[in-house]
Structure 1
């Protein structure tokens, strides 16, 4: 057999080790999540249908965004026919920002999906070249799927409540679509402009926009879970090394060289893990900024309207208000806590090193200690802020500050219908 034939045989043989599929649970789940995301427009697959579908979704969203921006400009210029209730400036601006978030999320998620092959290759390489044997996380896959299912179900329930609060419980079935679109998209469509051919695509796109908004938080949490799991496994390995050394303290010193080698490989594993975190951070920084901004904005808006306008006379709208606000807070807390766990896990090994017996110390243990104590590893929003637990307190204080300022400058003449529209603009 010639060298050319041998090379061709090797390329076609998928059972060879370099071409074997990666069985990492995290990468398997993420691949499935990205494949499912193609249904609501995220571009990543190289199939022609996916290109067409993604371009179609993006084109429709851009058209709706242009329409919404034009309505805001007309309201600010004073040339709008109707600026009351669901067509007020605040309501139009909320709807415009909502669809802006959907467009940016679609673009950033597609960019991440297109570059995920390189990230997955680096992820697998770091796992493969580690010279230390780390235990596997058998619960990671189940936790990731559970979180995705939980977030999706809760998002759809919240979206369903927004529809019910818009149309009310006494709406005839024949008027459900019309009433929902005229209330939730009043910032975009007037009553005399209504058409079923226009309303159905709006209702469909609002659902896709809700899924996109939910997807960006899912991506951050899932990736954070994977990175934190890897640090947790490394920490377990370090604990086992410390326990073994404690048992060998009374033996002869022939194992010193072996111990130094083990600690060196363990330190190198932490270095590679920190490198992987920074690579991922550079890829999802834009999504983190977008997620924190939009959740922060709508929490402030919800609180402001709830404080200034008071509770609605209809129980369903009051219930939706609290459910929507609680859901926004839950998403923010989930994102921050999941991402901050990476930083916590990256420093958790220090307590085991500090309590390690001094007779077992060597130069590699000292280097690892300095590395973990001085190297700050965490996800960030493009370097503008770090996702740590302290940021929750900072966000809470900022929300309170903005609410107090807005309440002081609040125009008491704001119409009562503005609250209902903005709630529906958030939940569309």
Structure 2
């Protein structure tokens, strides 16, 4: 089934050139990858008609999405019960935060899927304008290649981070087995790994290899959701900033004397600029919630990973994993902020050209365009609480320092809480299996 989907994508994309370099053509493979793990379940992505984009509630896509949300919610509830039993510390609460965050992301993407048709229609109208002869840029570095390269690189790094996480957990378990002398007890390493990783879940029903495989898939899907959120915002930002940059490059020719400055020309340019602004407003209404969640999540996990790295770790594999995870998380967050902020930067670029036009070329419509460029804040936002600009990145860096101090204090205050005595796993497992 997957091979057929990939073949269909390659056939549909094989004749793509600069005249068909639309956003939805470019993002198709990324959406398909997400849907294999149950996120963003929109149908009609292979159609060139944006009106075909919809949500089929009785489709496999939606059912898979709801199953993973349900499994993640069950995992979350059992984790809450586990923490109530053992106590909460600054470090052991991270899995609960991750589960809440991933389930919320999946739910928000499902909600966004129900609204995406309106966005897709508006985006296709804007793409039609900017793929016309006057705006078209003949370059090998097309929008499709920008999106494919960016998404491919970030997904590859995300997979590497997830694999390192599993290897790190297996390494800890191997050290524990040798230290506690469990070599004779642990005959099935996968079973042992699953029982330890999903200890909160298997305290409520017996272990089976099928359920372990299912929860491993759910865990991988929820991890993808966390990365998918930032990558999705990055790809949206690249596409919208590209259209604003096309306007800037188009009007630069005026400063070079290629076109005469006249009323009709500026009416058309301002109309096209407003079309991209309207698209941005439509996108912002749909994604502002996930933008807010992304900023809050990245802030928390950067502080957590700094806390982990700042303390002495037991094994070399721990150092490798936590350092790579921290660097990848910081890199992904900075990339997300810079790409989202590039929309604001690109939207202001035409003002540099407009201010250089001599008085003899000034007209009423140009004056309106200049006023709009100066007065409007054109940027993505987080539910209207803040706009994504370069200045916000520095503000977030200062916030990280503040919250890191709070987390260090919480870590000291909660020291000893949530502690599980070493080599006690088989005692705990016996209680799970016997109920005693």
TM-score when scaled to structure 2?
A: 0.78
Question: 1:209 aligns to what?
Answer: 222
> SS at the partner of 1:118?
helix
**Distance of 2:188 and 2:91 partners within structure 1:** 23
Deviation at 1:215, TM superposition (A): 0.9
Question: In the alignment, is residue 66 of structure 1 matched against residue 77 of structure 2?
Answer: yes
> SS at the partner of 1:365?
helix
Deviation at 1:291, TM superposition (A): 1.1
1:31/1:115 CA distance change after superposition, 3 Å: farther
State which drifts further: 192-201 or 261-270: 192-201
Deviation at 1:353, TM superposition (A): 1.2
Query: Equivalences for 1:8-19 in 2 at 5 Å?
Result: none
Deviation at 1:304, TM superposition (A): 2.6
Question: 2:13 aligns to what?
Answer: none
1:220/1:371 CA distance change after superposition, 3 Å: same
Contact 2:91–2:304 (8 Å) recurs in 1: no
State which drifts further: 143-152 or 48-57: 48-57
1:413/1:286 CA distance change after superposition, 3 Å: closer
Of 166, 170, 174, which aligns to 2:169? 166
Structure with bigger RCO (C-alpha 8 Å, 6+ apart):
1
Deviation at 1:409, TM superposition (A): 5.2
Contact 1:300–1:399 (8 Å) recurs in 2: yes
Deviation at 1:183, TM superposition (A): 4.5
**Distance of 1:183 and 1:391 partners within structure 2:** 40
Structure 2, unpaired ranges of 5+: 1-18, 44-55, 175-182, 421-436
**Distance of 1:170 and 1:105 partners within structure 2:** 30
Contact 1:217–1:331 (8 Å) recurs in 2: yes
Higher helix share: 1
Question: 1:149 aligns to what?
Answer: 152
Contact 1:90–1:418 (8 Å) recurs in 2: no
Question: 1:380 aligns to what?
Answer: 381
Question: 1:25 aligns to what?
Answer: 22
1:57/1:168 CA distance change after superposition, 3 Å: same
1:57/1:405 CA distance change after superposition, 3 Å: closer
Query: Equivalences for 1:166-245 in 2 at 5 Å?
Result: 166-168=169-171, 171=174, 175-186=188-199, 188-189=201-202, 195-244=208-257
Question: In the alignment, is residue 50 of structure 1 matched against residue 85 of structure 2?
Answer: no
Q: Could you list the structure 1 runs, at least 4 aligned residues long, displaced by more than 6 angstroms after superposition.
A: 416-419
Post-superposition CA distance 1:78-114 (Å, at most 9, x none): xx2x55xxxx544552111111111111111222233
Question: 2:412 aligns to what?
Answer: 411
Name the count of aligned residue pairs.
375
Question: In the alignment, is residue 265 of structure 1 matched against residue 265 of structure 2?
Answer: no
Question: In the alignment, is residue 94 of structure 1 matched against residue 94 of structure 2?
Answer: yes
Structure 1, unpaired ranges of 5+: 1-21, 249-255, 420-428
State which drifts further: 99-108 or 400-409: 400-409
Question: In the alignment, is residue 290 of structure 1 matched against residue 290 of structure 2?
Answer: no
Across the aligned residues of Structure 1 and Structure 2, the Cα RMSD in angstroms comes to 2.9
> SS at the partner of 2:218?
helix
**Distance of 1:114 and 1:409 partners within structure 2:** 40
Query: Equivalences for 1:127-146 in 2 at 5 Å?
Result: 127-128=127-128, 133-136=134-137, 138=139, 139-146=142-149
Question: 2:354 aligns to what?
Answer: 353
Contact 2:89–2:418 (8 Å) recurs in 1: no
Query: Equivalences for 1:33-44 in 2 at 5 Å?
Result: 33-42=30-39, 43-44=41-42
Post-superposition CA distance 1:200-244 (Å, at most 9, x none): 322221111111111111110000000000001111111123323
Deviation at 1:118, TM superposition (A): 1.6
**Distance of 2:191 and 2:109 partners within structure 1:** 32
